[in-house]
Amino acid sequence: MDKYIFDESNSLWYDRQGDYYIPCLTLPAEEEHSITLHRRFVRGQILLSVVEYFSEEVTAVSIWEGIIYIFADTLTGHAVLVMFLFAIMDERGWQRLKKLPSLLLSPLTATALDLSLQAVIPDSWTVRYCISSCAILLICTLWVRWAWRIGFWRAFAAVCMAGIFQVAMSCLSILFTMIPLEGDLQFVVEEAAFWVVIPVAAALLYRLRFGAWFRLLLENESGQHWTALLLFGLEAAMEAFLILQKGIQPEYLAVYYLLVTTMAALTAGLVVYLARQFDATRKMEP
């Protein structure tokens, strides 16, 4: 009798073991437990999400490691947002720095919300992304309203404008990380680019007094809500670009990031133009 036979009816080989033929079956290697961390492709308003488990056995250490990553990157995003907020609000003093600890409520809430949504809708990353982003915008708006003692629409417009700059400058910093490097040098360049490009961009906005034009535009009380909604729409478009970048072919990513950055620059130019028009109209009034 043959040692091995092939059954054409099921396309299986059989191995003779004594008086019996046993199917030659092999099981795939057992995959080790790991957590895939899905993050916004930019630093700044970063949101990590534990999206996939490769084992039913999830250790407490792995869970806490994922939670810490989520909170740390969300906290980093809020730090970037604050940099641009201070430039946009044309802040000339340091007294509002004392109010920063209360803003920790936002990354804590965002982290808890993201983990909760993963349990409810684990397969809908885009929905979780949008809900978490809206929650961050709302909490930061309430904080700006309290810290600067301004109306809701002015605070909402400021947060949306800061979010636009945040996404754009993060894209710009990513361009530096696309330089092919090896080993730890790639990580060093990525972190250096991020922590150099964004503070320099915020300082440049502050130096050019962009915040003065922005605040002037919002002095038009009758149009504050329309300005805020316009900026919210542009910020939502920037967030949509972040989601859509996953479908961009790698050779076009550099151009894609430049286009996103250009959109933010055009938005800033639009704000300055509208502010000047409003200022000119106000001066013509008797």
Tens digits of residue pLDDT in 194-227? 788 888 989 999 999 999 999 999 888 888 899 9
**8-state DSSP, 102:** G
Q: What is the mean pLDDT of the chain?
A: 80
Residue that wins the pLDDT comparison between 53 and 279:
279
Dist. CA 209–CA 90, nearest whole Å: 7
Predicted confidence at residue 286, as pLDDT, reads 66
- DSSP assignment of 203-249, as one string? HHHHHTTHHHHHHHHTT-GGGHHHHHHHHHHHHHHHHHHHHHGGGS-
Mean pLDDT of 230-246: 88
Predicted pLDDT of residue 149: 92
pTM of this prediction?
0.76
Q: What does the pLDDT average to over 254-260?
A: 88
Q: Cα-Cα-Cα-Cα dihedral of 108, 111, 116, 119, to 10°?
A: -160
Where is pLDDT greater, at 172 or 150?
Answer: 150
Q: Where are the domains of the chain?
A: 1-30, 35-284
CB 197 within 8 A of CB 251: no
Residue 204: is it exposed, middle or buried by C-beta count within 10 angstroms (0-12/13-18/19+)? exposed
Ranking 7-21, 226-240, 261-275 by mean pLDDT, the lowest is 7-21
Q: What was the pLDDT predicted at 54?
A: 38
